[in-house]
């Protein structure tokens, strides 16, 4: 037994570092790099990086498309920065907030030669830290030495890349009764991932019969809809309607997955809302920010159901992707139970876009 953090713990530290604006070192097979999240970059740290070499800004292919920059690596673009690039340039490349009011003077030069592996990993890390997917990347001759000298978190990039694609094991922490308006016989279960990421919850109504399909919902956190009663989406009414139906039937399970904003985090969701105020739809806004339409990992839901010994479900959803993913993860979906509630003039376009672009069944 060693007291040193393992890979998953080191990655959790790296996420916290990036969120604070502290650089991390990615140490690959043949190369190493210093990485800083663009969102939390300070002018002082940018100047220090520029004094040490020529950093590039790693962006996703999605963000690059908006900026009309060539992404030679497909999903990743490596944008060359002028030697004296000011912080405001890095910020405006990373953040689409001012794309329309201050269009980028182009064309942007991007790297074609060399490997983009560390850049890709940097973007995965930034996303998993719920930051904008944009990272300053500076090649290092000696990653281990640099990390030690500056007391930075060093990640074994070769091991980290596949590790970040696997789902962390969830621990069942505790369950207790929480009588709800919709169902008095409810119990709240807490699940904690081993990788230091956010906890997820399961609300078990009654004692669902494990030998028959269980009425279930995979609900993704929506602070604005679930808590504030926002009219921009249908999440709050869906949450309440699902619990009400489970209460009426006497049994069911609602997974409350902390995947705010379809997995991009609340700050990025608010950035997406600001872009929607400029006229973009929910999918376009995600793309302009550099995200895919949906960054959620529904394997999470399947793992929780498995831990609760639920093998097949009647799934309350309008989203065919959820059904697909459950089935691919070995959870039987015997029936889709539609959940059409909460339509209003403020979310009509949002729901229409989901039907047109995300295949939602309404
Ligand atoms: N990025 C982004 N996320 C949004 C937006 N509006 C709502 N969300 C998020 O979308 C998610 C909605 O999740 P779900 O209720 O599971 O919805 P769904 O995928 O449409 O599937 P069903 O409701 O099961 O049909 C929540 O995480 C919300 O925070 C938006 O405009 N942009
Ligand atoms: Zn919502």
DSSP assignment of 56-109 equals EEEEEHHHHHHHT---TTSSEEEEE--TT--HHHHHHHH-GGGTTTSPPPSPPP
Do 242 and 316 lie in one domain? The reply is yes
The answer to whether position 269 is within a domain reads: no
pTM recorded for the entire structure: 0.95
Task: Establish whether 294 is a catalytic residue.
Answer: yes
DSSP assignment of 158-195 equals HHHHHHHHSPPPEEEEEEEE---SS-SSEEEEEEEETT
Do 154 and 227 lie in one domain? The reply is no
Q: What's the Cα-to-Cα distance from 149 to each of 48, 146, 153, 212, rounded to whole Å? A: 15, 5, 11, 59
pLDDT at 250: 97
Q: Tell me if residue 215 falls in helix, strand or coil.
A: strand
* Cβ atoms within 10 Å of 345's Cβ, excluding its own: 7
Domain count, the chain: 2
pLDDT tens across the length of the chain (362 residues): 789 999 999 999 999 999 999 999 999 999 999 999 999 999 999 999 999 999 999 999 999 999 999 999 999 999 999 999 999 999 999 999 999 998 876 789 999 999 999 999 999 999 999 999 999 999 999 999 999 999 999 999 999 999 999 999 999 999 999 999 999 999 999 999 999 899 999 999 999 999 999 999 999 999 999 999 999 999 999 999 999 999 999 999 999 999 999 999 999 999 999 999 999 999 999 999 999 999 999 999 999 999 999 999 999 999 999 999 999 999 999 999 999 898 899 988 888 888 888 777 76
User: Residue 59 in contact with residue 133, Cβ under 8 Å?
Assistant: yes
Name the closest-CA residue to atom 31, ligand 1: 282
pLDDT at 51: 97
The answer to whether position 287 is within a domain reads: no
Task: Establish whether 296 is a catalytic residue.
Answer: yes
Do 81 and 185 lie in one domain? The reply is no
Ligand 1 within 6 A of 220 CB?
A: yes
pLDDT at 360: 78
Do 73 and 133 lie in one domain? The reply is yes
Do 206 and 341 lie in one domain? The reply is yes
Query: Measuring CA to CA, which residue among 16, 246, 219 is closest to residue 128?
Result: 16
Domain boundary among 113, 141, 164: 164
pLDDT at 290: 98
Query: Measuring CA to CA, which residue among 242, 245, 209, 208 is closest to residue 226?
Result: 242
Do 69 and 134 lie in one domain? The reply is yes
Ligand 1 within 6 A of 347 CB?
A: no
Task: Give the C-alpha separation, 252 to 242, whole Å.
Answer: 9
Nearest atom, ligand 1, residue 315 CA: 24
Q: Tell me if residue 286 falls in helix, strand or coil.
A: helix
pLDDT at 2: 86
The answer to whether position 273 is within a domain reads: no
**Which residues fall within 8 angstroms of residue 113, CB to CB, at 6 or more apart?**
none
DSSP assignment of 216-277 equals EEEEE--IIIIIS--SSSSHHHHHHHHHHHHHHHT-EEEEEE--HHHHT-HHHHHHHHHHHH
Do 84 and 134 lie in one domain? The reply is yes
pLDDT at 151: 97
Task: Give the C-alpha separation, 175 to 33, whole Å.
Answer: 43
Q: Which residue has the tokens 């000011």?
A: 86
- Supply the CATH number for residue 195's domain: 3.40.50.10990
Of 27, 73, 234, 294, the catalytic one is 294
Ligand 1 within 6 A of 233 CB?
A: yes
What's 306-336 look like in SS3?
HHCCCCEEEEECCCHHHHHHHHHCCCEEEEE
The answer to whether position 286 is within a domain reads: no
pLDDT at 163: 94
* Reported ipTM: 0.97
Name the closest-CA residue to atom 23, ligand 1: 317
Domain limits at 315? 170-259+296-358
The answer to whether position 267 is within a domain reads: no
Query: What is the number of the ligand closest to the CA of 260?
Result: 1
Do 25 and 119 lie in one domain? The reply is yes
């Amino acid at each position: 037994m060693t007291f040193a953090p393992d890979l998953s713990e080191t990655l959790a530290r790296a996420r916290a570092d990036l969120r604070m604006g502290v650089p991390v070192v990615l140490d690959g097979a043949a190369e190493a790099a210093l990485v800083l999240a663009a969102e939390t970059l300070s002018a002082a740290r940018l100047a220090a990086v520029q004094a040490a070499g020529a950093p590039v800004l790693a962006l996703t292919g999605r963000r690059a498309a908006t900026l009309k920059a060539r992404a030679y690596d497909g999903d990743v673009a490596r944008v060359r920065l002028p030697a004296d690039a000011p912080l405001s340039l890095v910020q405006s490349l990373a953040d689409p907030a001012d794309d329309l009011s201050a269009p980028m003077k182009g064309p942007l030069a991007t790297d074609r030669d060399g490997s983009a592996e560390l850049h890709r990993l940097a973007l995965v890390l930034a996303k998993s830290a719920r930051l904008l997917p944009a990272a300053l990347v500076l090649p290092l001759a000696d990653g281990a030495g640099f990390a030690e000298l500056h007391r930075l978190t060093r990640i074994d990039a070769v091991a980290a890349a596949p590790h970040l694609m696997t789902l962390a094991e969830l621990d069942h922490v505790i369950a207790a009764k929480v009588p709800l308006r919709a169902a008095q016989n409810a119990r709240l279960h807490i699940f904690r991932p081993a990788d230091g990421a956010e906890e997820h919850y399961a609300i078990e109504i009654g004692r669902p019969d494990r030998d028959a399909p269980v009425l279930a919902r995979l609900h993704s956190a929506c602070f604005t809809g679930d808590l504030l009663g926002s009219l921009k989406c249908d999440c709050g009414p869906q949450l309440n309607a699902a619990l009400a139906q489970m209460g009426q039937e006497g049994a069911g399970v609602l997974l409350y997955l902390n995947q705010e904003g379809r997995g991009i985090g609340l700050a990025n969701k608010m950035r997406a809302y600001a872009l929607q105020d400029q006229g973009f739809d929910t999918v376009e806004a995600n793309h302009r920010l550099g995200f895919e339409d949906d960054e959620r990992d529904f394997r999470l839901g399947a793992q929780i159901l498995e831990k609760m010994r639920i093998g097949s479900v009647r799934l309350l959803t309008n989203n065919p992707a959820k059904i697909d993913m459950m089935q691919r993860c070995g959870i039987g979906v015997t029936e889709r139970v539609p959940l059409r509630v909460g339509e209003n003039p403020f979310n009509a376009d949002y729901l229409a876009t989901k039907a047109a672009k995300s295949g939602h069944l309404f």
